[in-house]
Amino acid sequence: MNRLIQIEKKPANAPEENSVARREFLKQCLRASPLLVAIAHVAAQEGAETAAEDSPAEEHSYGMGIDISKCIGCGRCADACKTENEVPREPYFFRTWIERYVITTDGEVTVSSPNGGIDGFPAAISERGILRTFFVPKLCNQCANPPCVQVCPVGATFTTEDGVVLVDKDYCIGCRYCIQACPYGARFLHPITHTAEKCTFCYHRIRNGKLPACVEVCPTGARIFGDVRSMASPLTRFQRLNEVAVLKPHLNTNPKVYYANLDGEVR
C-alpha cells in the first residue's frame, strides 16, 4: 500500500524533469520513425516470403478428421463433392458418400447408403429394436501406404509430396487394378473418360488455401481438414482432443482419415 502511494507521488514531485524526458522521447521517436517504417516493411516482406515458403508441398501432409457423433447424415458433403469435381450424378459414382449403420438388439448390422445420402435417409424402421444407429461419412482414406499406388502398372496414381493420393487422368490406362486394390471401395472408373477416379481432398482447392468442398459445406463441422505435421492445424487439435481411430488398421495402409467416436462395427 505504502509503496503504491510513493510511486504515484513521484511524478508529482518532479514534473519538470518528467516533461523534458517526454519531449526527448518524442523527438527520438520522430527521428526513429523512418527506421521503424523500414523495419515494418522488411518484416512484412519476410512474412510474405514465409507464406510463400509454406507452400512447398513436401512440408505438408494433409489429412481429415471425421467426428461421427456430429454427422447428421444430410449428404451435403456428397452433393458438394459431385458439384465441385463434376462426378457423374448416377448413384454409382462417389468420391465421398455417407453410410448409415443400424445395429439391432439381436446384433444384426445393416449398412445402407441410398444415393450416397444425397437425397437424405428414410427414418429407420425396424420391427426389432434398434440398439445403435449413426451415420459414417466415407471417402478415400489417403493412405500413407496406399495399395492402389503399389498396383498401378503405369504410375498413373501416386502420392504427392504433401501426402495426397492423386490420379493422372491423362496417363491412366483404365485397367481397374487400383479399384480392386482399394480396401475402402473409394475408387471408381469414370464412365466417360474410362479412367480411375477418386477423392483428391479437392487438391485444386487446398493448394489455393481453400478447404475441400465437403469440409466447406459440412453444416455441423463433422469434417475437419488440416495438416498432420503442423501442431497448429485444426486436424492436430482434433486428434489431440478426441480418441481417434482409422478404418481397417490391420491392413497396414496407414490411413490419414481419422474418425472420432467410431463404432467397432464400422468396416
Partner 1 sequence: MPQQLVRLSILFLTLLAALVIARSYLVPATFGEIGHYRTAAVAANASQPLVYAGREVCEICHTEQAQKFAAARHQSLSCEVCHGAASGHVEAPSDRKPPAPRDRGYCPLCHGYNPSRPTGFPQIDALTHNPGSPCIKCHDPHAPEPPRVPQECGACHGEIARTKAFSSHVTLECTQCHEVSERHKVDPRASTPTKPKAREFCGTCHAAGAAALEEVPQVDLTSHWPRYVCWQCHYAHYPEVR
DSSP character at residue 132: E
The DSSP secondary structure of 11-74, one letter per residue, reads: HHH-HHHHHHHHHHHHHHHHHHHHHHHHHHHHHHHHHHHHHHHH--GGG--EEEEEEGGG----
CA distance 158 to 152: 9
User: Of 14, 21, 36, 130, which one interacts with partner 1 (CB under 8 A)?
Assistant: 130
User: Of 66, 74, 260, 262, which one interacts with partner 1 (CB under 8 A)?
Assistant: 74
H or E element in which residue 157 lies: strand 157-159
Is residue 169 close enough to count as binding partner 1 by CB under 8 A? yes
Q: Strand pairing of 188-189 and 157-159?
A: unpaired
Is residue 242 close enough to count as binding partner 1 by CB under 8 A? no
- Residues 11 to 50 in contact with partner 1, rule: CB under 8 A: none
Residue 41 beta carbon to partner 1: minimum distance, rounded to whole angstroms: 26
Is residue 56 close enough to count as binding partner 1 by CB under 8 A? no
Residue 76 beta carbon to partner 1: minimum distance, rounded to whole angstroms: 6
User: Of 52, 123, 192, 232, which one interacts with partner 1 (CB under 8 A)?
Assistant: 123
User: Of 62, 97, 135, 177, which one interacts with partner 1 (CB under 8 A)?
Assistant: 135
The Cβ of residue 38 has, within 10 Å, a number of other Cβ atoms equal to 10
Fill in the per-residue mask, 184 to 203: x = in contact with partner 1 (CB under 8 A), - = not in contact.
----------------x--x
H or E element in which residue 104 lies: strand 96-104
Span interacting with partner 1, options 29-37, 70-78, 89-97, 181-189, rule CB under 8 A = 70-78
Is residue 57 close enough to count as binding partner 1 by CB under 8 A? yes
Closest by CA position to 201, among listed 234, 182, 226, 181: 226
Is residue 159 close enough to count as binding partner 1 by CB under 8 A? yes
> Which residue number, 149 or 246, has a Cβ lying nearer to partner 1?
149
Residue 14 beta carbon to partner 1: minimum distance, rounded to whole angstroms: 50
Q: How many CA atoms lie within 13 A of 245 on its CB side?
A: 14
User: Of 170, 232, 240, 250, which one interacts with partner 1 (CB under 8 A)?
Assistant: 170
Is residue 166 close enough to count as binding partner 1 by CB under 8 A? yes
Q: What own/partner pairs with CB < 8 Å and gap ≥ 24 does 154-163 have?
A: 156/195, 156/196, 157/196, 157/198, 160/57, 160/203, 161/56, 161/57, 161/58, 162/57, 162/58, 162/59, 162/60, 162/61, 162/62, 163/60, 163/61, 163/62, 163/63, 163/228, 163/256
Which cell numbers in the block locate residue 218? 459440412
User: Of 40, 44, 72, 173, which one interacts with partner 1 (CB under 8 A)?
Assistant: 72
Span interacting with partner 1, options 21-29, 33-41, 77-85, 250-258, rule CB under 8 A = 77-85
Contact footprint for partner 1 (CB under 8 A): 57, 69-76, 80, 83-85, 100-102, 120-121, 123-124, 129-130, 133-135, 155-161, 166-171, 200, 203-205, 207-208, 210-211, 213, 216-217, 219-221
